[in-house]
Amino acid sequence: MSDEHPAPAPVDRARSFGSVADAYDRGRPSYPAEAVAWLMGGEAKVVLELAAGTGKLTRQLVDQGHAVFATEPDEAMLAVLRARVPEVSVKVATAEEVPANDRSVDVVVVAQAFHWFDHDAALAEIARVLKPGGHVALVWNSRDDRIPWVRRLGDILGMQDGNTTSAQHLADSDLFGELEETTFKNWQEIDRESILDLARSRSSFATMDDAEREDNLAKVLAFYDDYGRGMDGMQIPYVTRCYRAVVADPAGPDPSGLPTSGPDGSSQEGPSVSDGTDTDMLLIDFR
């Protein structure tokens, strides 16, 4: 960008997705089922998803049997999530002010968004709401830029949304135990229309002026046409990078009296699944 159009501050970029919510939902890849299972770490659980966006991960969490609550600071993104996953309770909220009571959830999960957080404030909130033995899980889809044509696509789209370096904040936090990490392979089928949605879904695109947007989309289409697959489309390879860490032991017994969890995050007394009428769910302030 030129000096006349300085890059937006991170908080502005983080809140820019609402204007492209539909494109984000159509254009972004989902997550491998085995990656979702690893993030959860075992049996069905009570899960709080922060910065849930349009529900790309939320739908999979529900389908795998978890009882899910979702927060998202952008109402436009949350409107798409409500339509995609109508059975989930949702609330407009930030990761720095989580609308859940102390020690009320088994897992807090963040997909494609942890890099936007105020990490000190968010990690303190995450530690507060996790049950003893519960864990936080982070996940990003990063294009596999070891492949030359994928690197060229990244030069057009930008690489910031797949940057996982912010996971180091979790590794360095005294509020959590040792950081575990693993990766999974993932592919996204893209055609001449959906690659435009992928471009429109970028935080940088949302903050461009009209001329910049048109120029960016023209570059994306030129890249796609040069790729030469036409109606057959392309498969974009991703590395799904997953991280999790158990909350540190509290300085005393669990005042909630709820079942604690084992070191792998699984409940020692069976799944923590709820229909919304029991204590687990009432501990979450989504009224």
Residue 277 has a pLDDT of 36
Q: Are 50 and 110 in contact (CB under 8 A)?
A: yes
pLDDT at 276: 40
Residue 3 pLDDT: 34
Flag residues of the chain having pLDDT under 70.
1-20, 160-162, 228, 230-231, 250-287
Neighbours of 155 (CB within 10 A): 12
- Identify which of 66, 94, 63 has the alpha carbon closest to the alpha carbon of residue 78: 94
Query: Tell me, what's the pLDDT at 208?
Result: 81
Look at residue 161 in the predicted model and tell me its pLDDT.
64
Nearest residue to 35 (alpha-carbon basis) of 109, 104, 87, 88: 109
For residue 149, the Cα-to-chain-centroid distance in whole angstroms is 26
- The SS3 call for residue 230 is helix
pLDDT of residue 181: 98
Sheet holding 234-246, edge to edge: 89-91, 67-71, 46-50, 105-111, 130-143, 234-246, 180-190
Whole-angstrom Cα distance, residue 116 to residue 271?
31
Q: H helices of 31-133, where?
A: 33-40, 58-63, 75-84, 119-129
- pLDDT (0 to 100) of residue 230: 63
The token duo for 207 is 């903050």
What residues contact residue 43 under an 8 Å CB cut-off, 6+ apart? Answer: 266, 267, 270, 271, 272
Which tens digits make up the pLDDT trace of 133-142?
999 999 999 9
Instruction: Output the pLDDT for position 139.
Output: 98
Return the ∠ at Cα 99 (arms to 82 and 65), rounded to 5°: 50
Task: Please report the pLDDT score of residue 278 as a whole number.
Answer: 42
User: What's the confidence (pLDDT) of residue 111?
Assistant: 97
Cα–chain center distance at 211: 30
Domains and CATH numbers, the chain: 10-145+160-189+239-282 (3.40.50.150)
- According to the model, what pLDDT value does residue 81 have? 95
